[in-house]
């Protein structure tokens, strides 16, 4: 897959490095050796990062002409309007079938191109009100981590770009490949797109030796068991109300949504790496029946477990 990543004067190294790191790991780990990520600038000239580093190994905008994925990792915080040339680049790339990704404030030039008109997008929560005013044809969600329409993906601020890029790997190559990349760069293998961008009252990650941490570890090891909120609260020796509140503060998700996500993650890896029957996978992951598993899988991924297996099976 050919990936074109846009750079500009004043962008931070972190924003540029995020897609280069995630997509570069795909090739370095030999998960898909044909994945190649390159950087382009609008004028084809070197640019200087916000930290003062000169980025000189760049291509011109023609790099996007045959790219399968065009990524805008960021944009200037003052939200200057993208040039007509950059807007045409987005529109033409989208029209010929390339996927467009706007990460963090990079959602702004994507939105201004018109390819998201009438649809929902996400950007950094702090900039969402200003972006929504200037790109008023797009509905901006200031809570989600990323939103994927298939042809266009946008993500929230900073570290959420890592989640979005891993999501792209998962969509193209499967959850086992995404997990391999996540392990190698030591980040969480999967955060839901609709997980909260930020927590209003920040708390530290749960101590794995504390009641919440032990319960999370227990739940991950027992996905086939009863993991209703009452059972999880009892395991943590907490009231249902207090457990639910603390769990959402820590994870950004309700216990029920978190459990469903972990069960679906486990099911996808089993579909990719085993020849188990659908019924056995459903039972192993705690869905109760193949019908319930299939319904939840289709709702989450818009495809059946069997179709998913045929696409991502390792043989």
**Domains of the chain as residue ranges with CATH:** 2-185 (3.40.50.880), 199-315 (1.10.10.60)
For residues 83 and 101, what is the distance between their CA atoms, to the nearest angstrom? 18
pLDDT tens-place values along the chain, 315 residues long: 999 999 999 999 999 999 999 999 999 999 999 999 999 999 999 999 999 999 999 999 999 999 999 999 999 999 999 999 999 999 999 999 999 999 999 999 999 999 999 999 999 988 989 999 999 999 998 778 899 999 999 999 878 899 999 999 999 999 889 989 988 987 766 555 454 444 333 334 455 568 898 999 999 999 999 999 999 999 999 999 999 999 988 887 899 999 999 999 899 889 988 999 999 999 999 999 999 999 999 988 888 999 989 887 754
d(CA 308, CA 160): 25
pTM: 0.76
β-pairing, 139-141 with 146-148? Answer: unpaired
For 224, list phi and psi in degrees, rounded to 5. -85, -5
DSSP-assigned letter for residue 86: H
d(CA 165, CA 188): 12
């Amino acid at each position: 897959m050919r990936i074109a990543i846009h750079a500009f004067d004043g962008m931070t190294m972190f924003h540029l490095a995020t897609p280069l790191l995630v997509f570069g790991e795909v090739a370095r780990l030999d998960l898909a050796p044909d994945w190649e990520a390159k950087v382009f600038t609008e004028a084809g000239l070197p640019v200087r990062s916000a930290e003062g580093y000169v980025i000189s190994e760049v291509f011109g905008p023609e790099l996007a002409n045959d790219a399968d994925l065009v990524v805008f990792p960021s944009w200037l915080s003052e939200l200057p309007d993208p040039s007509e040339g950059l807007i045409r680049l987005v529109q033409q790339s989208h029209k010929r079938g390339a996927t467009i990704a706007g990460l963090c404030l990079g959602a702004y030039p994507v939105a201004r191109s018109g390819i998201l008109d009438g649809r929902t997008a996400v950007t950094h929560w702090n900039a969402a009100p200003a972006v929504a005013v200037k790109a008023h044809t797009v509905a901006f969600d200031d809570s989600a981590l990323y939103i994927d329409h298939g042809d266009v993906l946008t993500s929230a601020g900073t570290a959420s770009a890592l989640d979005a890029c891993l999501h792209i790997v998962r969509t193209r190559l499967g959850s086992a490949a995404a997990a391999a990349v996540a392990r190698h760069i030591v980040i969480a293998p999967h955060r839901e797109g609709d997980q909260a961008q930020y927590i209003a009252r920040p708390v530290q990650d749960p101590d794995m030796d504390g009641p919440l941490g032990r319960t999370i570890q227990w739940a991950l090891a027992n996905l086939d068991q009863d993991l209703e909120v009452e059972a999880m609260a009892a395991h943590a020796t907490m009231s249902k109300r207090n457990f639910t509140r603390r769990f959402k503060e820590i994870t950004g998700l309700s216990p029920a949504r978190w459990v469903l996500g972990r069960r679906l993650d486990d099911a996808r890896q089993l579909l990719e790496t085993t020849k188990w029957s659908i019924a056995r996978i459903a039972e192993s992951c705690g869905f109760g029946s193949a019908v319930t598993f299939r319904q939840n899988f289709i709702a989450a991924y818009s495809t059946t477990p069997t179709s998913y297996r045929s696409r991502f099976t390792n043989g």
